[in-house]
A = this chain, B = another copy of it.
Amino acid sequence: MIDVDTDLSSLRRHLESAGVDGYLIDDDATDSDQRYVSGFTAPDPFQTLVTDDGVHLLVSGLEYGRAKSEADAETITRRSAYDYRELVAEHGAYGGKIRTIAAFLEDHGVDSISVPRNFPTGTADGLREQGIDITLESDGIVEEIRAIKADEELEAIRESQRANEAAMACAEELIASADVDDDGTLIGEDGEPLTSERVTEEIEVTLLRHGCGLDDTIVACGADGADPHNRGSGPLEADELIVIDIFPRNKETGYHADMTRTFARGDPGEEARRRYDVTREAYEAALATVEAGVTGAAVHDVVCDVIEDAGYESLRSDPSTETGFIHSTGHGVGLDVHEQPSVSPAGGELEAGHVISIEPGLYNPDVGGVRIEDLVVVTEDGYENLTDYRVGLEPTN
C-alpha cells in the first residue's frame, strides 16, 4: 500500500447536498473504491463509512490488527463489538451481517447513507428493512476523485510501467530472435514453435520479477488479434501481425500500467503495413490533442477522423461494424486497469492529473489487428508520456 493523501471533500459535499449522514462501502479490497477510501486491503468484505468527522472501518477480528496498523481511518471497530457472532447465530450469516452493520451505523449516529452503484443490493435492501434510509450515489464520485492522481500514485504507475517495458522487451526479443520454419511458424531457441502461451509466460515471469502480477496478457497473432479481447493462443507466425497488450498491476501498490505494441516478423503485406501507419497516425493525432480542458470525446473524434479519412470504418461511422476501429480511444488507468476518465464518445473534460491510455487500433479477421497504446498523464498544457518504448512494426533485439 502507498500512503495517498486522499481528498474526500467532494464526497462530503455530496453528503450534504443529498442530506444523508454518511457514505458506505461494503466490499473487499478488490473494489478499488474500497481500497482507496479505506487505505486497507483485505480479501473478505469489510465496511467503510465516510462521515463528516472521518473514515470509519468495520472489520472482522482476523483483520483487526492489520487494519489498525495499515488503514487510513479515524476509527476501526471489530464486528464482535456489535455481537456479530451472536447475531449470526440468531439470524443466519446474512441477517447477522446486516444487523451488525446497522449497529455500526447507529454507533456513529448515522441513519441515512448514500451508497455507490455497485453497493450490494442484499446489504441495501437489508439495511432498508432495518430502517436505514439509502440513497444511490449514481455519479461515481469516488471514481472521479480517484481519476486525479497524486504524485505518489503517479510514482506507483511509473514503477508498473517500467515493469511493463521490461516485459515487452522480453516478448519483442523472443519474436525478433525466433527462427522461421518453412511453413512460416516462428521457432523459439529450444527448437519448439514459439506460441502465444510461451511468450505470455515469459512476459508474466518478467513482471513477477519486477513485483507485478496481472490478470491477463494478450499475445494475439493473425485473426486472433482482430478480436481486441482475444488473449491469443497457438504458434506465432511470420508475415502476420502480432498484437501484444500488457497491463500489469504492482502487487504492493495495486497500481496498473498499460501498453500495447504490434509487431510482425517478415512481411505482413501492404494492407497490414498501411493499417499500421494509419493507426500510428491516429495515435499521434490523439496525443497531440490531449491537454487539460479538452474532452475525452474530442480526443476520440480525432482518432475517428484519421481512421475514417483513411477509408476504414469506426463505431462512429457505423455503430454496428465488427471491423475497423471498434473500441474506445482510451481509458483511465490506476487501481483499476479500466477506470475514469473515458476517452470515448462519452468522455468528459480531461483534467491535469488524469492518467489515460491512448490506444487506437484497426481490426479485420482477414488482415489481423493493429493496436498502438501509450500511457500518459494529462497536464495543463498537454501531457507527459509515461511510456518509454519504441513504436515500430519490425521487432528488434
What is the interface of chain A, defined by CB distance below 8 A to chain B?
30, 42-44, 61-66, 80, 85, 88-89, 92-94, 115-126, 134, 136, 138-139, 201, 204-205, 208-209, 213-216, 227-230, 315, 319-320, 322, 326-327, 337-338, 342, 345-346
Contacts and interface: CB of A to CB of B under 8 A. Distances in A.
B229 A62 contact: yes
Contacts of A62: 228-229, 326-327
Contact of A42 (B44, B85, B229): B229
Contacts of A118: 120-122
Nearest to A140: B94
B80 A319 contact: yes
Q: Which 5 A-B pairs have the closest CB atoms?
A: A117-B122, A119-B121, A121-B124, A118-B120, A125-B136
B136 A122 contact: yes
Main secondary structure of the interface of A (DSSP, over half): mixed
26 contacts: A30-B30, A43-B229, A43-B338, A61-B315, A61-B322, A61-B326, A64-B322, A80-B319, A85-B315, A85-B345, A88-B346, A89-B345, A93-B342, A94-B117, A94-B138, A117-B120, A117-B122, A119-B122, A120-B121, A121-B134, A122-B136, A122-B138, A126-B138, A205-B209, A208-B208, A213-B213
Given A89-B345, A94-B117, A119-B122, 5 more contacts: A43-B215, A66-B230, A119-B120, A121-B124, A124-B125
Contacts of A345: 85, 89
Contacts of A124: 121, 124-125
A213 B392 CA distance: 31
A201 B320 CA distance: 45
Contacts of A80: 319-320
A216 B43 CA distance: 9
B93 A346 contact: yes
A146 B122 CA distance: 19
